[in-house]
């Protein structure tokens, strides 16, 4: 599989790169926990994705690039999660998120032709409307709660009065399970509150040009039409840290080198990260991620 | 008060839910890409044996149940309590009928049983999967009829009645599967 991947990128003149795994800055995303380590009394972090360094390369004029990187996420393990896993991350200049989805389709047809006959695209808004008859962009938290009750979706212990948390829960319980069982689905244009590092839509600021790829309900990839505005990026990082403070989570050091790189000019581009281990699970028809990772029983799971 | 966070959840962990001790059967972390993680958990209520499903926002803490398993020998039943003894310390414990569930009918003196203690009190008594018990009463066997698949009821020393092949006679020692309540074989003396 890795050979086919590399051939796919070589054909398109996309350059393979390597970037540092250990860094003084880290992701501020409240949903991600970085592993931390020390060097000469300074704290360093293992990356959760090679995104920041790759964007610095793009800003420095690298052109189209890709990377196969081991990444690390603390507190994530289970049937579909291992704290250490492999991401394929690639960036295409002058692509928007739909053009990048087109290219991902080509890659999937190349790797798994028998599973790629029919690939669906549906917007986040449309998926919620067709499954739950509710518009995720305008619904209040209260309305989402009522909607969950109406569809007999149980409320998890510890659930908070938080719109994104409810959207995530409905997404897991009702939207993802509705996708075609044996086919790929792209879900695109997420609510702006879940933009992460995607730019907001130029016509509708309620949505962000972010997408995810699923096979059945298995999530495989996350991509963005990348945010290039340094000021907005900095504000999002700062807001993440505010949320972290409110959740009693540690604030993470913001990557100001990335902000500087964005300031100097990140070319318009789209980027995606694909979970290679999960792709491998699909390719070899196994149900647990530890089956496709060598020595994958290192972390207790059940 | 001890508690477990969802990231410590794994099979076999004992928790208190709705005031009852439960044991985790299965724990699955579910997480939408960049979003909130949740745990979908399947548990067994150790009091009722019922299986239940619960979901938790990841990071939640749940009270730990002080539940341990000990091995003890059965001594006797006085009609109200079932008495067990630790074969090494000779410490005794009395289990009420409610803790016996189905175990009572398979038990005989000196049988080594697993007793699940909750806060030090017996919650469930489990007998071994296979026990050996003597037939105390059964209709006379039909000699030579060993090839036929016919069965007849037999009463065992523990009081249980099981279906046995026609050739089994009173006084014979039988191996019984306590999970299904079925006869397995004769035990050669």
Q: Which of A158, A198, A300 has the highest number of chain B CBs within 10 A, making it the mutation to test binding with B?
A: A158
Are the beta carbons of A63 and A93 closer than 8 angstroms? yes
pLDDT higher than threshold 90 for residue B32: no
Q: Which residue of B has its CA nearest to A28?
A: B34
CA distance B35 to chain A (A): 6
Mean pLDDT of B130-137: 93
Q: Is the residue at A132 inside a domain?
A: no
Mean pLDDT of B166-187: 91
Question: What pLDDT does B21 receive?
Answer: 92
Q: Is the residue at A259 inside a domain?
A: yes
Lowest mean pLDDT: which of A109-113, A136-140, A175-179, B163-167?
Answer: B163-167
Mean pLDDT of A144-159: 95
Complete domains list, chain B, with CATH: 3-63 (2.30.30.30), 67-126 (2.40.50.140), 130-186 (2.40.50.140)
Q: What is the CATH number of the domain that holds A283?
A: 3.30.930.10
Mean pLDDT over the full length of chain A: 95
- For chain B, give the percent of residues with pLDDT over 90: 56
Counting runs of H as helices and runs of E as strands, what totals does chain B give? Answer: 1, 16
Q: Is the residue at A179 inside a domain?
A: no
Q: Is the residue at A207 inside a domain?
A: no
Q: Which domain holds residue A12?
A: 2-118+228-291
In tens, the pLDDT along A164-191 reads 999 999 999 999 999 999 999 999 999 9
Q: What is the DSSP letter of B77?
A: E
Do B36 and A157 lie within an 8 Å CB cutoff?
no
Question: What pLDDT does A302 receive?
Answer: 45
CA distance A40 to chain B (A): 31
In tens, the pLDDT along A22-77 reads 999 999 999 999 999 999 999 999 999 999 999 999 999 999 999 999 999 997 88
Question: What pLDDT does B103 receive?
Answer: 87
Question: What pLDDT does B10 receive?
Answer: 87
CA distance B23 to chain A (A): 13
Do A31 and B36 lie within an 8 Å CB cutoff?
yes
Q: What span, in angstroms and rounded, lies between the C-alpha atoms of B106 and B109? A: 10
Count the domains in chain A.
1
DSSP string covering A228-291, please?
Answer: --HHHHHHHHHHHHHHHHHTTPPP----HHHHHHHHHHPPSEEEEEEEHHHHHHHHTT-S-GGG
pLDDT higher than threshold 70 for residue B143: no
Q: B residues 27-56 near A, CB within 8 Å?
A: 27-38, 54-56
In tens, the pLDDT along B79-102 reads 889 999 998 999 999 999 888 878
Residues of B in contact with A157 (CB under 8 A): 54-57, 60, 62
pLDDT higher than threshold 60 for residue B147: no
pLDDT higher than threshold 60 for residue A10: yes
pLDDT higher than threshold 90 for residue B145: no
Please check whether residue B150 touches A, CB under 8 A: no
Do B11 and A302 lie within an 8 Å CB cutoff?
yes
């Amino acid at each position: 599989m890795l050979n086919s991947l590399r051939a796919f990128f070589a054909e398109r003149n996309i350059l393979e790169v390597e970037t540092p795994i250990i860094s003084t800055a880290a992701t501020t995303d409240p949903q991600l926990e970085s592993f931390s380590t020390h060097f000469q009394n300074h704290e360093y972090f293992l990356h959760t994705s090679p995104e920041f360094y790759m964007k610095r390369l793009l800003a420095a004029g690298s052109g189209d690039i890709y990377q196969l990187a081991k990444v690390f996420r603390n507190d994530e393990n289970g049937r579909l999660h291992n704290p250490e896993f492999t991401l394929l991350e690639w960036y295409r200049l002058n692509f928007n998120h739909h053009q990048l989805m087109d290219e991902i389709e080509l890659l999937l047809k190349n790797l798994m032709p028998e599973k790629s006959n029919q690939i669906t695209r549906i917007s986040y808004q449309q998926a919620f409307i067709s499954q739950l008859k509710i518009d995720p962009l305008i619904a209040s938290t209260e309305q989402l709660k009522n909607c969950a009750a109406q569809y007999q979706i149980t409320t998890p212990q510890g659930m908070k009065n938080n719109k994104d948390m409810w959207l995530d829960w409905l997404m897991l319980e009702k939207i993802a399970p509705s996708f075609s069982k044996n086919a790929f689905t792209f879900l695109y244009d997420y609510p702006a509150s879940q933009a992460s590092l995607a730019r907001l839509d130029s016509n509708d600021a309620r949505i962000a040009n972010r997408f995810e790829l699923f096979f059945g309900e298995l999530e495989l990839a996350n991509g963005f039409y990348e945010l290039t505005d340094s000021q907005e990026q900095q504000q999002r990082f700062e807001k993440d840290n505010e949320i972290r403070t409110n959740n009693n989570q540690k604030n993470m050091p913001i990557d100001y080198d990335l902000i500087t790189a964005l300031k100097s000019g990140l070319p318009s581009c789209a980027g995606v990260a694909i979970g290679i281990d999960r792709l491998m699970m699909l390719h070899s028809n196994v149900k647990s991620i530890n089956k496709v990772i060598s020595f994958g029983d290192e972390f207790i799971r059940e | 008060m001890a508690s477990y966070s969802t990231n410590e959840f794994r099979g076999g962990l004992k928790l208190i839910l709705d005031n009852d001790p439960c044991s985790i059967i299965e724990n699955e972390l579910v997480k939408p890409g960049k979003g909130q993680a949740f745990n979908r958990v399947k548990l067994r209520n150790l009091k009722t044996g019922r299986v239940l499903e619960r979901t938790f926002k990841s990071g939640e803490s749940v009270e730990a149940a002080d539940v341990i398993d000990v091995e003890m020998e059965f001594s006797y039943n006085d009609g109200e309590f079932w008495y067990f003894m630790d074969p090494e310390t000779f410490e005794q414990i009395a289990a009420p009928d409610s803790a016996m569930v189905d175990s009572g009918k398979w038990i005989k003196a000196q049988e080594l049983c697993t007793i699940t203690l909750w806060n030090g009190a017996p919650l469930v008594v489990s007998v071994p999967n296979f026990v050996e018990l003597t037939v105390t009463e059964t209709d006379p066997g039909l000699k030579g009829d060993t090839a036929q698949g016919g069965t007849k009821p037999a009463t065992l020393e523990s009081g249980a009645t099981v279906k046995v092949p026609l050739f089994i006679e009173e006084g014979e020692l039988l191996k019984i599967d306590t999970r299904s309540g079925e006869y397995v074989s004769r035990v050669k003396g």
